Amino acid sequence: MTKQKMAEEAASDLEYLKNLAIEGQQAPLLGGRFAVMWGVLVALALVIQWLALSGQAPFGPEVLFIVWSSIGVLGWIGSAVLGRSLKGKPGTGSVGNRAESAVWSAGGVAIFVYVLAVITAVYFGKADYLIFNTIMMVAFSIYGVCYFTTGNLSGNRNMYFIGALCFVATIVNGALINQPVAYLVAAGFVVLVTVIPGMLYIRAEPSQTV
């Protein structure tokens, strides 16, 4: 094999690897299934909370701890199961999917830690139960940061719109704070920023990708 032929093959191999890297970076995001699952669970819990606080349910606020604890357990189990379903799936190693996984994992931990801080404040008598009404505002703000970060790193500009909608949800939730209807409105926003986008991203997943 001549040097020229070897150089041509080497250039061809480099071009192939370059294209492979670009396609891998632009691989469709695979977190849609997690968004749908968590979105449905959280929206359901928010509706139950609205029913309990507004007096439209045969039970009162005392059931809310059980409801949210159950949601947490179900979400954790569901995430583990869905995580296993992604093993070996094409595209999981792309920049966008790795960024999405890291950002949303950190966001979930941040929300959980804030909830623990609120519970601690109430337990030690430093705040009354109304402080629980701030959780959804913090959660929506973190959702927005996660969407903007994932959108920037993955090149998916649609996520900027969803992130902006999360910030709108934060403001609306603030305007309605300490009112039972705030939880019903929050449930609607959760569907808009998690369930619907998640379903669209699931549909966008090809059977094969780099």
Q: To the nearest 10°, the Cα dihedral for 45, 50, 56, 62? A: 70
92 vs 100: CA distance, rounded Å? 10
Considering its fold, how many domains does the chain have in total?
Answer: 1
Residue 122 structure tokens: 């109430």
pLDDT at res. 156: 85
Q: Is 60 exceeded by the pLDDT of residue 102?
A: yes
Per-residue model confidence (pLDDT) at position 20:
40
Q: Is the model's pLDDT at 140 over the cut of 80?
A: yes
| Mean pLDDT rounded to a whole number for the chain | 85
Q: Quick check: is 40 in a domain?
A: yes
- The range of the structural domain enclosing residue 12 comes to 3-204
pLDDT of 8 strictly over 50? yes
pLDDT, greater one: 72 or 84 = 72
Within-domain flag for 112: yes
Residue 123 in this model has a pLDDT that exceeds 80: yes
- Model confidence band, residue 84 (pLDDT cutoffs 50, 70, 90): confident
Answer yes or no: is 210 within a domain.
no
* Structure tokens given for 139: 């959660």
169-197 confidence digits (pLDDT tens): 999 999 999 999 999 999 999 999 999 99
pLDDT of 19 reads 45
pLDDT at residue 209, as a whole number: 44
Task: Give which of 79, 83, 87 is closest to 41, Cα–Cα.
Answer: 79
Is residue 44 included in any domain, yes or no?
yes
Question: Pseudo-torsion of CA 14, 19, 25, 27, nearest 10°?
Answer: -140
Confidence of residue 24 (pLDDT cuts 50, 70, 90): very low
209 domain residue, yes or no: no
Tell me if 148 is assigned to some domain.
yes
Residues 78-105 as b/e (b if ≥16 CB within 10 A, e otherwise) read: bbeebeeeeeeebbeebebbebbbebbe
Residue 23 pLDDT greater than 60, yes or no: no
